[in-house]
A and B are shown apart, each in its own frame.
Chain A
């Protein structure tokens, strides 16, 4: 399948930017739009690896309203240059986990480049920072196309007689976290109606989710 082709990016910044642009595309159109944008960006890059400049040029060449929508994403990128990180660090009073929550809030993920920049600015070892980011389920180092959250507490595991949660886990494990990222949380809301599930923050029924994922991953 051509759309499964992994594009070559010049650096992590270019990849970050591209992923965030894809995130701005409505869910239903992602599969169609993504290969088109990859093709256009590759063209602008002249056949070499895709650079940030090539992506910006590609956005300029798009028709409205996509152009302004994506341009917003491009300018939002400025949110994480070294200067902004410095300001954010000050705002958080040097509290690293508060900083990570802040970045998570504005970007929905933590770009690995930003973690390295924080390490540079604070002198805290990179390994330590990556450890903080990967402890617990609050942070993510990439922006998945679909963020799936399911209840995986004991009560819900007992109630899930059809073993849907396990089936969903198996499905997702085959896809890789960039496509579908599965977050197992211990309680999502009302235990009485559990197990509950969310896709990109919207509540869905567990059995509906299973078939939705099957279509998304295999269709």
Chain B
């Protein structure tokens, strides 16, 4: 259908709700890249065959990733008279048994993880499922206990390519509300009230960024989605945008409406082919539905989106380097100021936000900034998505409110693999350094983590007692050596020199003065580099020298 009025989005939602809670059975199979790499395609194929064989009135939906990487392929079953049951891992061999159980109205024990009696949707009214099952409730399932899902509200629930299903969860209601109210300042006010900070690492207040761009007078303005995740730990943003690309697009459109932009760019890493494909398909479908292009929902608001592929370098996720790349220039950072919100793409005011930041926006505007600020702690409101990896028992993606202690997040992931002791962890990306285990009592809180000279990026990497921190420091420095764009000499050459000193230490030919020498490089390299990549170059080294001196002295001696 073509939406000609802001009220018509509700009609679309009704169609979507019938799909989310159908008369027959709905099987959803986690089919993001993570699921596929563990055999989701085979599971889906066998499922199709078995359903036909059993003569079951059922449909199979390929959904995104619900964050339970360790349980992939994840299958959820919604059947009449039953709560929703989540199974995992469902390999293709398990499928015949599963279909048999579902047909008999039973739960297949062994691979059943938990049940859910209802689905909390953004739109307000939850979807109720009937019946009961002898299983723990989703809220009691350890990896999910304590999670609050705002960004991941639709992850693993809806077909990422279905506008109807997205609308059923309350999707596009926020945009419709904003367009009907015709008050861009109110949108910005709500974002400011929410206290949302950019989730890229620097934590800049999003409302302030938008306000700056809105107040700048210029013939054109732009919204850019930074989806060039170069962080070397995790594919967190990939999982998010693959599971729910429409939330990103809606967030982007609300931003465009608020600042007065009519053009947007999605800058997406070349490795994210599946996500890029989805975004391109959706842009076509949205234009057909009157949700993109000229006169959106019959209002005066017009917006177009261009998808552009990045070359996948770490530097292409840096805000100003990204703008250079979009203009066809070399992917190198620009000096700041001017900040992009005043003078960005093609010299025009530009808001650059990342995937996670924008996915918060529809929820914030629909439910109000104060509601969002109710989660988290002072100065760090809302929730944070973290991909937990490294030496953990359960690799997974979680979303918890700010203020949650890091050690609680670690226990959700089942602690350290093989019951070993935790030696250290990294939470701020390569430039965030490595913190010792005792710091895991810190809460997720921008200010408190900054005080520890780290940040809050997209991953939490655990390192067990056997990890050699000098080697880890060397790994990160090699990463910077490979990823430095070469613009600033201190970063380009400094990374190599630091690497050489570390190599000497690892080889056993380090000298006593080496550590002081390394530490003395931090300030000059940081002061003379244009972007965060150079500014934080020494962090992995200085943090490990500070926090794990014994690893170094063991190699250097005394």
Residues of A near any B CB (own CB < 8 A): 95-98, 101, 128, 131-132, 135-139, 152-159, 161, 184-194, 196, 203
A187 engages B390 (CB within 8 Å): no
Given contacts A101-B270, A138-B270, A158-B463, 12 further A-B contacts (CB under 8 A): A95-B308, A97-B311, A132-B331, A135-B316, A153-B232, A153-B234, A154-B233, A155-B390, A157-B232, A184-B482, A191-B395, A192-B34
A187 engages B69 (CB within 8 Å): no
Q: Which residues of A contact B311 (CB under 8 A)?
A: 97, 132, 135-139
Q: Which residues of B contact A203 (CB under 8 A)?
A: 37
B277 at the interface (CB under 8 A from A): no
Least distance between A148 CB and chain B CB atoms (Å) = 15
Interface residue total, chain B, C-beta cutoff 8 A: 50
CA distance A155 to B458 in the complex (A): 12
Scan B303-338; emit 1 where CB is below 8 A from any A CB, else 0.
Answer: 000001111110110000000010010110000000
B162-198 at interface with A (beta carbon < 8 Å): none
Q: Who on chain A is nearest to B464 by CB? A: A158
12 A–B contacts from the bound complex (CB under 8 Å): A97-B309, A135-B313, A135-B330, A136-B310, A152-B479, A155-B387, A186-B230, A187-B233, A189-B36, A190-B33, A191-B69, A191-B389
B70 engages A98 (CB within 8 Å): no
CA distance A187 to B271 in the complex (A): 9
Q: Which residues of B contact A196 (CB under 8 A)?
A: 37
B456 at the interface (CB under 8 A from A): no
Main secondary structure of the interface of A (DSSP, over half): mixed
A191 engages B391 (CB within 8 Å): no
CA distance A158 to B325 in the complex (A): 32
Residues of B near any A CB (own CB < 8 A): 33-38, 69-70, 72, 229-235, 238, 270-271, 308-313, 315-316, 325, 328, 330-331, 387, 389-391, 395, 426, 430, 459, 461-463, 466-467, 472, 475-476, 479, 482, 485
A191 engages B330 (CB within 8 Å): no
CA distance A135 to B487 in the complex (A): 12
Q: Who on chain A is nearest to B463 by CB? A: A158
A157 engages B313 (CB within 8 Å): no
B33 engages A189 (CB within 8 Å): yes
Q: Which residues of A contact B328 (CB under 8 A)?
A: 95-97
Are A128 and B330 CB-contacts (below 8 A) given A152-B232, A155-B389? yes
Q: Who on chain A is nearest to B430 by CB? A: A154
Q: Which residues of A contact B485 (CB under 8 A)?
A: 135
CA distance A123 to B482 in the complex (A): 30
